Amino acid sequence: MRMATWGRSTANSGVPGLRRDGRHIDQITTVMNQLKNDPDSRRIIVSAWNVGELDKMALAPCHAFFQFYVADGKLSCQLYQRSCDVFLGLPFNIASYALLVHMVAQQCDLQVGDFVWTGGDTHLYSNHLEQTHLQLSREPRPLPKLVIKRKPASIFDYRF
């Protein structure tokens, strides 16, 4: 097993992705390197939660963190979302992170596993009740199939 040293913990620096010496940590690049070099790690996490800055934010991040894990050559991801508008936000959140899992898996030459969504405070606003009932009354359409036509050079080179 290979072990990488990423510098000191950012727990007290106040800014996620910022080391005490002021240098930035690119969490996505770090995740990609971890998946390629140590796919069995239980620490492949991207965090948006910034305790040192919460009091300065208009709203704390809803998508607090997500974690990747590899089992049997398949990449899975779990998102913890502290707060979620179920009618408007959740479908978009699921689609976005599912796409991310496909992109990351492609870059790491892994098969796609599962996307697991965990919600802390999930809510349905009263002004969405009518639209929610209408949506639930509709016959579901067949699930779409995602096809990524090319493999870009890096996770940052995808274009839509």
How far are the Cα atoms of 12, 46, 142 from residue 115, in angstroms, in the given order? 31, 15, 19
Instruction: Please choose, from the candidates 26, 27, 36, 25, the residue with its C-alpha nearest in 3D space to the C-alpha of residue 2.
Output: 36
Q: Which residues are annotated as catalytic?
A: 62
Q: Please report the sign of the dihedral spanned by the C-alpha atoms of residue 145, residue 150, residue 154, residue 157.
A: negative
Q: Write the DSSP symbol of residue 126.
A: G
